[in-house]
Structure 1
Amino acid sequence: MSLIAILGAVETGLLFGLVAIGVFLSFRILNFPDLTVDGSLPLGAAVAATLILADISPFIATVAAFFAGCLAGLVTAWLNVRLKILHLLASILVMISLHTVNLRVMGKPNTALLGESTVFTPFEGLGVPFYWINPTVLLVVLLAAVFLVNRFLGSEMGLGMRATGANPRMAAAQGIHTGRMTLLGIALSNGLVALAGALFAQIQGAADITMGIGTIVIGLAAVILGEALLPPKTVLRAIIGAVIGSIIYRFAVAFALNADFIGLQAQDLKLITAVLVVVAMTVPGLRTKRAMQRRARAAAANKGGDAAP
């Protein structure tokens, strides 16, 4: 792999690290299977692209994209909490609706940003090669997201959210408003995903309504890979693991597509994703099984040693 390919994998991995954190909040913290992210990513891209073309500051446009994603997540959680619609079905309904919303926002299936100012433009005059600028900016944004999410989950409200996901009945018995925690958590989750979409559109120079297809699979793959490589003993380790899983996932995809001896092509991306998810889901189970076998052998050896006299 060339340096450009490596930096490209790092850049995409950092970008989808925001998606991984969002998926971690919904799936792991709140135990809420949320498919809204497939619509939130292009929503963030559509909002940011439309505002930038309207001569709005790209920084303001990016913040607006974050809040647009929060609103989408809020609708999903509201359907579940208030109308008692199954969480999976509620997220599918919102995801489908966002396809129309994104078309309405952009007025067409895709919008080009070529030649427009982005959040990366101010850093282009520093004399740094362009292929270093995007990963560096994304790293700063991701580190800020990791810090803020970790601080939030360690706060009193964050602990209430974690309790809601772990045991909602017990959390409610302790006076925690589980409905509000769900609304807030899913809103933050989709806000982070929409933020990733806004940055993605500015990096790629275009926003497209189809760019969110498979986002949930990528996010889950990152979270599961991270848990397999870095056991989530603490919340911070779990968040960092999700980010590391996202980067490793993109490296695995880039390696598979660039390795001539494998013979894979760009159209095989979905197959690669499926294989990586299967591997990531299998590894923790194999690790647990081996640990149980080792403990069983050790127990048998100790029992045999005790019975020998």
Structure 2
Amino acid sequence: MLVSLTGAVELGLLYGLMALGVYITFRILDFPDLTVDGSFVTGGAIAAIMITQGYSPWLAGAAAFCGGLAAGACTGLLHTKGKINGLLSGILMMIALYSINMRIMGRPNISMLGVDIPFFAISSDVLRIGLIAVGVILIKLLLDAFLRTDLGLALRATGDNPRMIRSFGANTDTTKILGISLSNGLVALSGALITQQSGFADITIGVGMIVIGLASVIIGEAIVGARTVFWATMAALVGSIVYRIIYALALRVPWMDASDLKLITAVIVIVALVLPSSQRAWKQKNLAKKRSAELAAAASQRSAGGGR
């Protein structure tokens, strides 16, 4: 049990970078980017092919990040310059990335068994997870710092009110391309780290990543909230870890099989989407009852005063 939870926390941190990328497009830009399913594999493919050819895992991670930036930039260009619907732009790029990823890998999967990756070879779970947490938190803080710069503020304003930010002279096409690129760069970096941790890359590892990312963001916001940029990005990381823990616990249910993984994912996402809206509706209902009771009490007092 403890081993599975430890693994869930480790995976949650690694997938947390993907959740941060989804947060940028989903919450900041309000852009439905399905490129994620393809760019996640792109990161893993670049990392796997470079590491098996003798390159440093650090260099492989940097190259994967750049590959994700390029994929996101293509999606952004299709949407802004090609005037293609945002959802369709992501779908088209996701389809194109399937062939591109196959070209990168040269075959459907690459095994890295026997390849020495020092970082993930650390035997102590506590030390390894601690180092991963430090690295992920550092990337989160760098993202927070960027979102507080003038360019980051323009990026956030583009998602909130593009017409207003254009009136101030900002180029919303540029900020959209930048945001989508940065998002997919983080997703690809997550894919590269997951590939290094698991020891293999496969053409199908990106299937459903956008759903997992959305679930992580929504779960995190329900738990932590999104009052400021710091807490919003922290919520994405917390949501990713909580998602992986729920996933691990669900797999320990005796009547659950490996074939039920997609069902588990769907159920978690449905609960994550329905629960916040149900809570808001419940609070509004209670507030309405409270106000009705106050108005009834006030009317009763007035009628009693008039009778005297």
Same fold (TM over 0.5): yes
Report the number of matched residues: 301
Q: One-letter code of the match for 2:247?
A: V
SS across alignment from 2:33: coil
Q: Distance in 2 between matches of 1:108 and 1:180?
A: 35
Q: Distance in 2 between matches of 1:14 and 1:114?
A: 23
Q: CA deviation at 1:119?
A: 5.4
1:89 maps to 88
* Deviates most, 291-300 or 180-189: 291-300
Spell out, residue by residue over 1:57-97, the C-alpha distance to the aligned partner (whole angstroms, 9 max, x if none).
11111101001001000000000010101111111111111
SS across alignment from 2:110: strand
Q: Distance in 2 between matches of 1:140 and 1:49?
A: 23
Q: Distance in 2 between matches of 1:101 and 1:134?
A: 33
1:208 aligns with 2:202: yes
1:167 maps to 161
Q: CA deviation at 1:135?
A: 2.2
Q: Determine which of 183, 187, 193 is the counterpart of 1:193.
A: 187
1:27 maps to 26
2:271 maps to 279
Q: Which aligned pairs between 1:216-227 and structure 2 lie closer than 5 A? A: 216-227=210-221
Using the size of structure 1 for normalisation, the TM-score is: 0.94
Closer, same or farther: CA 252–286 of 1 in aligned 2, 3 Å = same
Q: Distance in 2 between matches of 1:93 and 1:69?
A: 15
1:157 maps to 151
Q: Distance in 1 between matches of 2:180 and 2:30?
A: 10
Q: Identity across aligned pairs (percent)?
A: 46
Q: Is this contact kept in 2: 1:134–1:203, CA < 8 A?
A: no
Q: CA deviation at 1:131?
A: 3.2
2:68 maps to 69
Q: One-letter code of the match for 1:270?
A: K
**RMSD of aligned alpha carbons:** 1.3
Instruction: Give the structure with higher Rg (CA).
Output: 2
2:134 maps to 140
Q: Distance in 1 between matches of 2:211 and 2:229?
A: 22
Q: Where do 5+ consecutive residues of structure 2 fail to align?
A: 302-308
Using the size of structure 2 for normalisation, the TM-score is: 0.94
2:297 maps to 305
Q: Distance in 2 between matches of 1:137 and 1:84?
A: 43
SS across alignment from 2:222: helix
Runs of 4+ in 1 over 6 A off after TM superposition: none
1:259 maps to 253
Q: One-letter code of the match for 2:10?
A: E
2:173 maps to 179
Q: One-letter code of the match for 1:241?
A: A
2:5 maps to 6
Q: Determine which of 269, 282, 296 is the counterpart of 1:290.
A: 282
Q: One-letter code of the match for 1:61?
A: A
Q: Is this contact kept in 2: 1:4–1:131, CA < 8 A?
A: no
Q: Distance in 1 between matches of 2:156 and 2:91?
A: 24
